[in-house]
Amino acid sequence: MSDSKPDRDAAYALKTPEDSIELYRKWAKTYDQDFAKANDYRNPQLIAALFAKSSDGNVPILDVGAGTGLVGEALAMHGLAPTDALDISSEMLAVAKTKGCYRDTIQADLTKPVNIADSVYGGVISVGAFTHGHVGPEAIDELLRVARSGALFALGINAGVYEAGGFAEKFILLKDKIKNFEIDETFGYGKKAQAELQKTRSIVALFRKR
């Protein structure tokens, strides 16, 4: 893994949180330009818009797997703040900080308990972290713990892992802890992206904590 060029194929091939730290350390400085802009990546804007459409004062917001801060920037365009950025990669968070759209940055591994008090957040959003080789559905328990009752969730989940990775089943198991569950979908790469990337579909799980 250590020789992989940072790109989406390398990201999908990750196996452990340590792999993520290593890949995103190399990718942080070029991610916005060489990945997001070059591939017409617009999932942060699309999922932030879905969050904004359902939001009724659901702040503060936790941006999970915030990376370089594209979701925080999109939320700010909707006038939504404050937002905190959580990510395993301190290098990605360092770039996110420069965007000026986050109140706080939290370096944490979502596959483990996180050092955040119960019931802090009014909203939780995630784009690009629930995908091949990244974070599984178990992390949703911690996200519910740090969210207050009524908090709005908009979780983008790669369609290829939604069933196969246990997300669909997880939401059924969580039925007593969540409400107003609905799913939407996005195609996260625009017309300027390669044809293969344009087929990438995300399931967006929208719900509230009971």
Kindly state the smallest distance separating residue 179's Cβ from ligand SAM, in Å.
25
Stretch that binds ligand SAM, among 49-57, 98-106, 125-133, 171-179 (CB under 6 A): 125-133
Choose the stretch contacting ligand SAM; rule: CB under 6 A; options: 53-61, 82-90, 145-153, 174-182. Answer: 82-90
Cβ neighbours for 188, distance < 8 A, ≥ 6 positions apart: 41, 42, 43, 46, 127, 156, 200, 201, 202
Task: Write down the least CB distance from residue 23 to ligand SAM, Å.
Answer: 8
Instruction: Report the nearest approach of ligand SAM to the CB of residue 196 (Å).
Output: 17
Residues 52-71 that bind ligand SAM (CB under 6 A): 65-67, 70-71
Residue corresponding to tokens 């594209």: 70
* Closest CB to ligand SAM: residue number: 67
Cα separation, 32 vs 68, in Å, equals 7
Position among 61, 62, 76, 92 found at the interface with ligand SAM (CB under 6 A): 92
Rounded CA-CA distance 4/12 in Å is 11
Q: How far apart are CA 5 and CA 140, in angstroms?
A: 30
Q: Is 123 among the residues that bind ligand SAM (CB under 6 A)? A: no
Name the one range near ligand SAM by CB under 6 A: 83-91, 116-124, 147-155, 171-179.
83-91
Helix (H) or strand (E) holding 186: strand 178-187
Q: Considering only 104-112, 140-148, 170-178, 190-198, which stretch makes contact with ligand SAM by CB under 6 A?
A: 104-112
For residue 159, what are the contacts with CB-CB under 8 A and spacing of at least 6?
Answer: 185, 200, 201, 202, 203
Q: Please give the Cα distance from 109 to 87 (Å, whole number).
A: 7
**Interaction between residue 40 and ligand SAM (CB under 6 A):** no
Tokens for 136, please give them. 């599984």
Instruction: Find the binder of ligand SAM among 109, 142, 184, 185 (CB under 6 A).
Output: 109
Of the candidates 176, 174, 134, the residue with the CA atom closest to the CA atom of residue 156 = 134
Q: Strand 83-87 vs strand 147-158: parallel, antiparallel, or unpaired?
A: unpaired
> Applying CB under 6 A, which of residues 128, 151, 157, 189 lies at the interface with ligand SAM?
128
By CB under 6 A, tell whether 87 contacts ligand SAM: yes
Positions touching ligand SAM (CB under 6 A) are 11, 17, 20, 24, 43-44, 65-67, 70-71, 87-89, 92, 109-111, 127-129, 134-135
